[in-house]
Amino acid sequence: MTGYLYQCELALLELAQRSWDDVTVEVRMEVLDDIEFLREETVDPFELLQSKHRGDAGQLSETGKDFWRSVASWIDALTSLGRLSTGTMPLLRLVSTQVAVEGTFLHMLRPGTERRVDDALTRMEQVAKAAEPETTAKDRKRFTDLTPAQRYRLVAAIEINDGSPLMSDLDSSLARTLGIRPGEHARAILNEIKGWWYGVAVELLERKNPSRKRPSVSAQELQCRLEEVTDRFAGKNLPITESLRRLTTAEIAAYEDDLVVAQMRWVGLKDRTIATHLRDYHYARAQRSEWIRTFKITEEGLEAYERLLWDEWDHVFTKHTDDVEDDTPATDRKAIGKRVLDDTMDKVADKPARPGSVTEGWIGRGTMHSLAGRTDQAADAEDSVGWHPDYTDLCQNHHETRDQ
């Protein structure tokens, strides 16, 4: 179990290290290898990594399973990629908590000035052709069955990173790599990053549920999440890049058939008031898109903000509609809906998009309208938002009319 957790956290550490040089680098797990790294908009990985954790450390064996099973895995991956004989070879890294002893081919394949590929290949061929041990015989034969040229290409691409930190030491390495300085909130920040990462790891490893799986995670996304967390503890505000102005007649007209406008008309708002609300809606959408596009906030962070606003609306809606009965007049229902809208806007205007910070009021108001505009697309009634006491039925009719 420790080995699996080590693989997961090592992927995070490796991605954090790369984020200093190239934020477009992406990581994925358990596709062709334990951990793989890709560049933006590429299909094939430029690095395949085998993760090996041994709590007792000790020496990395020339005949052991850790190395030869890694070789067999790399042969499978390179065959799948069509790289055994031609093309650019990915880097093949074995990251192990054990130590490669001097004089072994494992030591010869460490990075640095003492790296000796030719000598390592000769020694590997000798070990691979030996009768013992039986536990790695099948994997060693996979290597000897390759052509001499393929064996050389394979060995030249292998890099041994021995003496890597144990699981118990990864936290300190990760904190340093992420730039989390010792202090009052250091442990909390690291725990939040790791908690987020384990959720991401589940999505990376998901194979059956299309709605939950994700192909990869970029270093830029990690950096964005780190900034979200650290800024929250520091109370740092999200940047406001949009400048509000009155919408033009054409801009207002473009929303005329949208649900967000229908929701306002159902509670009796007039055109001038609708235009004011649409201004918040229009610019809040643009600002949220800019935050996502420039990695100022993650989609998960934005969804958390929307859930916070939804909760405020839910309290207001429940309070005002609790006394609505089947025989409540239409005019009263409309008036109640307007109170729901007005009170919700007052409530959400003070809710920051990042805890501990300050957010312009129009962000909350406009985001609330976005939720109301998505009501007919909500997964179920519990995710929906509206002003009129009968908004769910009205939204359904609106949806059917629009389809027709």
Are 266 and 224 within one domain? no
Strand partners, 160: 94
Q: Are residues 220 and 314 in the same domain?
A: no
pLDDT value, residue 261: 96
DSSP 18-31: HTTT-TT-EEEESS
Whether the predicted pLDDT of 36 surpasses 80 = yes
Q: Are 346 and 380 in the same domain?
A: yes
pLDDT digit string, tens, across residues 255-287: 999 999 999 999 999 999 999 999 999 999 999
Whether residues 268 and 140 fall in one domain: no
Same domain for 158 and 23: yes
pLDDT attached to residue 402 = 57
Asked, for residue 154, whether it belongs to a domain, the answer is yes
Is 70 inside any structural domain?
yes
Q: What is the mean pLDDT of the chain?
A: 92
Which tops the pLDDT comparison, 117 or 1?
117
The span from the CA of 96 to the CA of 139, in Å, is 19
Q: Residue 19 is encoded by which pair of tokens?
A: 């984020």
- Considering the domain architecture, whether residues 209 and 343 belong to the same structural domain is answered as no
Instruction: Give the range among 181-185, 307-311, 398-402 with minimum mean pLDDT.
Output: 398-402
Q: What is the pTM of this model?
A: 0.74
**Average pLDDT of the residues in 33-58:** 91
Q: Identify whether residues 68 and 166 lie together within a single domain.
A: yes
Specify if 338 maps to a domain.
yes
- Count of domains in the chain? 2
Q: What is the residue range of 138's domain?
A: 2-229
Task: Indicate if the pLDDT at residue 212 is higher than 90.
Answer: no
Q: Tell whether 180 is covered by a domain.
A: yes
Question: pLDDT confidence of 404, banded at 50, 70, 90?
Answer: very low
Find tokens 């229908």 and name the residue.
Answer: 262
Mean pLDDT in residue range 245-250? 94
- Are residues 108 and 35 part of one domain? yes
Most confident of 185-189, 211-215, 263-267: 263-267
Whether 74 and 170 share a structural domain = yes
Both 255 and 201 in one domain: the answer is no
Residues 266 and 176 in one domain: no
Are 124 and 31 within one domain?
yes
